[in-house]
Structure formats: structure tokens, C-alpha cells
Structure 1
Amino acid sequence: MQALLLLQGRPQVTAAELAAELEVSVPTARRDLEALAMSGVPIYPTRGRGGGWRLIGGARTDLTGLTQSEVTSLLIGLTQSLGAEPERVAAVRKLVRAMPAPFREGAQRVAAATVRDVPWGENEQEETSQTVAELQSAIADERRVRVSYDGSRGQRMLELVPLVVGSRGARWYLLGAPVAIGSDSADADGLRTYRVDRIRELEALPQRGVAPEGFDGSREWARMVERVEGMRGDVRATVRVQPWAVRALLDRFGAQARMIEAAEEGAQVEHPVVEVRAHRVEALAEQLAAWSSVAEVIEPIQVRAQLRKLGERIVEQYRDA
């Protein structure tokens, strides 16, 4: 199937090129091409220097029957799938390269403008896939969107150029900006982050909306993450951790944790010390409560007091158990 997709996206494909794409031997790739021809697929080889395998009727023949909207939907589904393991990323990249030329640009915009990232600590599952899909479709078609957004200043109607959709764990975010006056391009100075679960209504508009010149979605996403991480780290706690649980705790808190006292190479520390951060005392205590069997908060007293309150509430709730 991937050999067929590659043939649709290129004027011709050699057995060596197919072998490199599929990470198989050249003889195996050649057998795959010959099997396609024997199965009735209208492909033929051209011999000699500069030769290869071609589709009868040209590289834009749509043998799969996929329409442009179906191709976009396929990419949306793949990019929304949980996980960003190398195999999935490579599959999306190869699929985009192999698509027929008329479909490729929109597919590339979807793939480049979708980020799957490590969580910030939210465990809730959000039913936002339909809104995310609509935003991705607008990005693929280079269209503006009108959204009803329930933010800190109440519910507002906004007209935006969607630029990046990305997730941290289960929660999705949109990087978008209003269009610059007298232009179809987004105003880079107006770039903001929006939580997708706070979008109450969304309408794709017929007006064109494109990224500003030189826009780098990955760089802007990284900047947003760094900014939010900074806001989340106002409250700090020093925690003494069981050695075997240190790696798990560091992974769970991510950028909001760092080692303070660790074992020297080849030595052992009975109780390593870790610093963890959050935006509020209550939030930090709630996160640390799950680690109470393997971690003890040394300071500050405010976090220890909040943990005690949480414990008293739990005891009271289950007093009759």
C-alpha cells in the first residue's frame, strides 16, 4: 500500500528509493513493485539510466479513491492519536510525502501545526476531538475561524487565524491570532493561547487566513510552554524521596522538578531530596498527596499543613469504612 502511495506522489519510483522508504532490501522492494503490477495495478517499469516504476496516466492518478477532504480527515485522526512514538511520527511523515501533489500542501499544514506534548499534570479526559478536528481542517484549508470563547474575561466572540493545535496530556490548546489589518496573514503580535475545551462554538469562515511570514509553529509552542511553566512554578516544596521512586516522581512533575541532593556516581544516598513546584499551595499538596507513601515534604510548612488538611478530610470521609 505504501508503494502505491509513493507512486501516486511522484513521477516515478525506483526499487532503491522504495527500499529506503520501507527500510527493506532492494530485491524485496522490487518484488513488491512486481506484485503490484501482477495484481492489476496499472504500473510499468522503464529501463535504462533514469528509469523506474511509473503509474499509467501519470503520478496524480488517485487509485485509492480518496478525496482531499478524506485525506485531511485521515491526517487529523493520525495526529490526534495519543502518543508520539517514533514509529507514529515516521508514518505520518511518510504518508504526507506519498500523497498526490494536489493534496500534499494541506496535509503538510496539518502535520506541521499539530503538537502532542508531555502532560502538565491533568488526568481528566476531554471530549475535544471534534473541535480539534475542525481547527485542523481550517489550518489545512488556510481559513479563519470564529469562536465563542469562555475565558477569564467572560464569553467572547473572536475571529482568529488558527496556527497550531497541540496537547499537554489530555488537554488541547490552540495558538491563534487575529488577522493583520489589510492582510490575510495572522498578526504575530496578537498571538495568544486558548484552551480548546473553553471553545463553546466554532465556525470555519470562507475568508483566507495564513501564518505570518517566517512563522515557526514548533518554536512558538516551545515559547508558550516555557511561559506557562514559569507561571506554574510560584510555589516550591522540598521533598525527601525513596531512592527507587525518584525517577518516577521526576517524570511525573517534568520541568517542575529538579534534584537537590543526589547520589554521587557509584555511591548511594539514603533519601534523595527533590524540589517540586506548582502555581498554588493547594495544587502542589494535592499532587504530592499521591506520593505520600514514598515522599515526605520537608518544607515549606504551608504545604505540610495543606497535606495534613487533605489527610484529615480523607479520614473523616471514610471514618465508617
Structure 2
Amino acid sequence: MRADRLVATLLFLQDRGRVTVPEVAAELEVSERTARRDLEALAASGIPVYSQRGRGGGWSLVGGARTNLTGLTADEIRALFLVTGPLSATPELRTTLRKLVRALPPTLRPHAEAATRAGVVDATDWSRNAVTADASHRSALQGAVVDGIRVRLGYAGVGKPAGERTVDPLGLVAKAGVDYLVAGTDKGLRTFRLSRVTSVEPTGEPVVRPPDFDLATAWRALSGAFQDGMYAVTARARVRPDTLALLQRLLGGRVRVGGPLPDGWTEVWVDGPAAKALAGHLAGLGAGVEVLEPPEVRRWLARIGAELTGMYAGERADPPPGP
């Protein structure tokens, strides 16, 4: 709490230019003795604060000096540095944080520096390799968003050659280690994965921003529509006990577990974007999963099984060796 009071006292000094002990005590709702101690602590910490006795006296910053202190409390400083550890922070952000540390009073610096070493944020999904977008493209899009400039975007969709389109950059979103651009297009709001961006060319024209646009609200709507597509088909199945944990690990929240069946297996419901895609996910688990319905998922599994049998009919059916 004292570190927070020192910050508040310094900001009060900066705002008033000169203050008295009673004024500080009233502003911070502390005793005059505590206020005097805090002012003396600021002076002892190296901040150019001095006192002048007599009529019109008080405490002032030497020469009207000011600091770049942002007004953050000790808890806010700790939270800021905790979420911007060395792995999650970009080089630009790390430079900014170093400047912020230098702007803090000495009493707060150890907390900030310790917080940077306390943890890291790594949003990369274990199930895939990290895909990093070209840094120049990210930087260009960030600039376009901040400056409100329309861009010609080179973009290669899944299974499609790169094409070019003119978009209104409205914001950048990071989800599970993947960066997305939210932009206005002639077909409405769309998302673009930064790893598929091939070029960014500012047009010099101002962005057309939808009325009352809010990035967080727009992202929830866009990602919600995508997520709904991931739950377009639901299969009811039975799972062998030694396969249930693997199924949950592979498909996560798309698996809903029911109760145990008389034969020791477990009933589950599994969601997917389409019958073919869902069958492809489940086929890799072999006889550990039996789909009971719908019929279209069972038909796709039968087709996949027949294709695999035809391709590998000459191979031994022994299980592969362990790692």
C-alpha cells in the first residue's frame, strides 16, 4: 500500500506544483505524520522533491521537474509485467517496458523487474507447430489499423492461389498463437489469418469504419459463426475404455461424455463441421470407437475403411512398434 501512496503523492505534487503536508494528508486520507513520511521517502529515493519552510512554503519538485510516471499502482505494474514476460513480448514491447521501468520510482522498480521474470505467456497450441506471420506484414497492418488507412491485401486462402483485395483494417486479434486481421470488405466484416497474408500495400484512402464498431464485439460474432460451423454434425458413439482419454485429448470440447454402457464401454456425443470430416477424425481411432448414428457418418467411415484396406491390403496387421 505504501508504494501506491508514494505514486499518488508524486502525481499530486506534479498536478499542484507545490503542496503542504495537510493537503497531502487530506488528498490521500492519511494522517499528517504519514503524509510527511511519504514526502521524505520520495526525497530519499532520488526524486527531486524538496521542502521550504515559512509562509508560502511546502513541498515541491525541484525546478518544476516532472517524471514520465504513468500513474499505475503497484498492483497494476505487477499485472502489466506479469502478462508481458520475455516469451510473449515483442522486441518493441520489451523496449517499452524497459523505458517504463526507468520511469518508475526506485521503490517500485524491483517489483516490476521481478514480475518480468515470474512467468511467460505462450499461447501456441501443443497440437501444431507455431506459424509466424511475416513481421513486416504484421507491422504494416498494425500501422494501417492505427492510422486508419485502407490497404490492398495479398492473401492466399486454403487451397487457393494468392489474390489481391482492398480491405479496411479494423483490428488485430491473437487467438491460441495465431494472429488474425479483422477487416471490412465489400461483403461485410471478414477475418484474415496473418500467416496467409502475402503483401500489404497502403492505398492512402481512409478506412470506412462501421458505426459504433467495437473490435471485441465484432470478433465474438465472427468467431462465434466459425465455431457454430465446427458443431454442424453430431455423432453418437460408444468408446472403449482405453480409447476415451485419447478421444478427449484429440477433440477436446467437441466430445460430450455420457454414462457407462453394460459392456463397459462409454457413450459419447462428438461434434464436427461435416460428416466426412468427423468420420476422418474418428477413423484414426480404429475399433476403439463405434459410431451408432447418424448413418452418413457411418457410411463415410465404411468408405474410409474400404479405401485404407485397398491401399494396405498386402501389409501385416500387426500393431506398430512403440516409441
TM-score between both structures, scaled by the size of structure 1: 0.52
Residues of 2 paired with 1:256 and 1:159: CA distance?
A: 36
Residues of 2 paired with 1:32 and 1:310: CA distance?
A: 77
1:56-84 residue CA offsets vs partner (Å, 9 max, x unmatched): 7576x4479xxxxxxxxx99x9599669x
In the superposition, relative to structure 1, how do residues 243 and 223 fare at CA in structure 2: closer, same or farther (>3 Å)? farther
In the superposition, relative to structure 1, how do residues 273 and 207 fare at CA in structure 2: closer, same or farther (>3 Å)? same
Among residues 155, 162, 187, which one is paired with 2:162 in the alignment? 155
Higher relative contact order (CA 8 A, sep 6+): 1
In the superposition, relative to structure 1, how do residues 163 and 274 fare at CA in structure 2: closer, same or farther (>3 Å)? farther
Aligned residues of 1:121 and 1:253 also touching (Cα < 8 A): no
Aligned residues of 1:122 and 1:170 also touching (Cα < 8 A): no
What is the CA RMSD across the aligned residues, in angstroms?
5.9
- Residue of structure 2 equivalent to 1:236: 234
The Cα of 1:220 is off from its aligned counterpart by 1.5
Q: Name the amino acid aligned to 1:236.
A: T
- Residue of structure 2 equivalent to 1:297: 290
The Cα of 1:221 is off from its aligned counterpart by 1.1
Aligned residues of 2:49 and 2:59 also touching (Cα < 8 A): no
Among residues 120, 128, 131, which one is paired with 1:126 in the alignment? 131
Percent identical pairs in the alignment equals: 27
Aligned residues of 1:174 and 1:194 also touching (Cα < 8 A): yes
Larger radius of gyration: 2
In the superposition, relative to structure 1, how do residues 6 and 272 fare at CA in structure 2: closer, same or farther (>3 Å)? farther
- Residue of structure 2 equivalent to 1:256: 254
Q: Name the amino acid aligned to 2:183.
A: G
Q: Name the amino acid aligned to 1:213.
A: P
Among residues 209, 222, 235, which one is paired with 2:207 in the alignment? 209
In the superposition, relative to structure 1, how do residues 317 and 246 fare at CA in structure 2: closer, same or farther (>3 Å)? closer
Residues of 1 paired with 2:276 and 2:316: CA distance?
A: 19
Among residues 193, 196, 201, which one is paired with 2:194 in the alignment? 196
Does the residue aligned with 2:162 lie in a helix, a strand or coil? strand
| 2:171 is aligned with 1:164 | yes
Aligned residues of 2:125 and 2:177 also touching (Cα < 8 A): no
Residues of 2 paired with 1:248 and 1:199: CA distance?
A: 34
Residues of 1 paired with 2:290 and 2:61: CA distance?
A: 67
| 2:269 is aligned with 1:275 | yes
In the superposition, relative to structure 1, how do residues 252 and 177 fare at CA in structure 2: closer, same or farther (>3 Å)? same
Alignment of 1:9-48 (within 5 A): 37-42=43-48
The Cα of 1:44 is off from its aligned counterpart by 7.2
The Cα of 1:34 is off from its aligned counterpart by 6.4
- Residue of structure 2 equivalent to 1:138: 144
The Cα of 1:296 is off from its aligned counterpart by 1.5
Does the residue aligned with 2:235 lie in a helix, a strand or coil? strand
Residues of 2 paired with 1:223 and 1:142: CA distance?
A: 22
In the superposition, relative to structure 1, how do residues 5 and 205 fare at CA in structure 2: closer, same or farther (>3 Å)? farther
Q: Name the amino acid aligned to 2:130.
A: Q
Residues of 2 paired with 1:246 and 1:287: CA distance?
A: 14
Aligned residues of 2:43 and 2:49 also touching (Cα < 8 A): yes
Aligned residues of 1:237 and 1:303 also touching (Cα < 8 A): no
